[in-house]
Amino acid sequence: KAGVTQTPRYLIKTRGQQVTLSCSPISGHRSVSWYQQTPGQGLQFLFEYFSETQRNKGNFPGRFSGRQFSNSRSEMNVSTLELGDSALYLCASSLGTSGEETQYFGPGTRLLVL
Amino acid sequence: AQKVTQAQTEISVVEKEDVTLDCVYETRDTTYYLFWYKQPPSGELVFLIRRNSFDEQNEISGRYSWNFQKSTSSFNFTITASQVVDSAVYFCALSEPAGGSYIPTFGRGTSLIVHP
């Protein structure tokens, strides 16, 4: 069974731009969660989608948004990028809701904002 | 106060030593889940164990073992006879109910370095 895939793996943007990251979950998994990992703040929960509906959202500004498609693939978007958005963005999928079920993580997208 | 505290920022051991990674959590919920993940240098988090709040039974999986104690709100992880391949950052996480689902909170991680 293929694992969680994320594209692109690396990305360089400049301040003020926007970016869209993609995540394809493991086949059959309906929940996709996104996390931001930085040296300063550690691993922080961004949001979770389950069956195309956002179930929960972490403490991030409205510039961070996401969506999930009918095939469970998910995208997250960050608008008006700031230097502090430079981070490793991890996506995880699970059969059910993220908190109860085992999550399987993708390799991440490393975003650098200049 | 942090919900998940991993007080050890970095641990350095020599191969074959036993090592314990500490995790202390804080929650008011009676139903919650605890996890441990391993993050090797490649960056991808690897699931190690999940435990719900009603199951305090300790678990052993090969060289890995976990000790869950609700009385002290701790969920510690021990690696027996460590190996160089165990070198990674290990994260403890707590999932609490929120809005019909659960929200996970991760500790800051413990970097384990195993020297040959």
> Which distant-in-sequence residues (6+ apart) come within 8 Å of B25 by Cβ?
B3, B4, B5, B34, B73, B74, B75, B92, B94
Summarize pLDDT for A42-76 with one digit per residue, the tens.
Answer: 999 999 999 999 988 999 999 999 999 999 999 99
Quick one: which of A5, A111, A114 has its CA closest to A64? A111
The residue written with tokens 């991440």 in the block is: A108
Mean pLDDT of chain B: 92
Q: What is the pLDDT of residue A103?
A: 87
Would you call A56 an interface residue with chain B, using a CB distance cutoff of 8 Å?
yes
Q: Which residue has the tokens 């500490």?
A: B22
> Identity (one letter) of the amino acid at B49?
I
Instruction: Give the pLDDT of residue A26.
Output: 95
Q: Does residue A99 surpass a pLDDT of 70?
A: no
Kindly list the residues from chain A whose CB atom is less than 8 angstroms away from the CB atom of residue B98.
Answer: 56, 99
Residue B57: predicted pLDDT: 83
Q: Looking at chain B from residue 51 to 90, which residues have their Cβ under 8 Å from any Cβ of chain A?
A: none
What pLDDT is recorded for position B102?
83
Q: A30 CB contacts (<8 Å, ≥6 apart)? A: A50, A51, A72, A95, A96
Residue A24's pLDDT is 97
pLDDT band (50, 70, 90) for residue B1: low
- Pairwise CA distance, residues A64 & A82, whole Å: 11
Peptide bond into A8 cis (omega under 30): yes
- The shortest CB-CB distance from A90 to any of B45, B47, B96 is to B45
A5 touches chain B (CB under 8 A): no
| pLDDT (average), residues B21-31 | 94
Comparing CB atoms, the residue among A43, A56, A102 nearest residue B47 is: A102
**Which residues in chain A have Cβ-Cβ distances shorter than 8 Å to B106?**
35, 42-45
Q: How far is B115 from chain A (nearest CA, A)?
A: 24
Picking from A43, A99, A106, the nearest residue to B95 by CB comes out as: A99
Contact B12, B115 (CB under 8 A): yes
Chain A, nearest residue to B103 by Cα: A99
In this predicted model, what pLDDT tens digit does every residue of B35-92 receive, in sequence order?
999 999 888 899 999 998 998 888 888 999 999 999 999 999 999 999 999 999 999 9
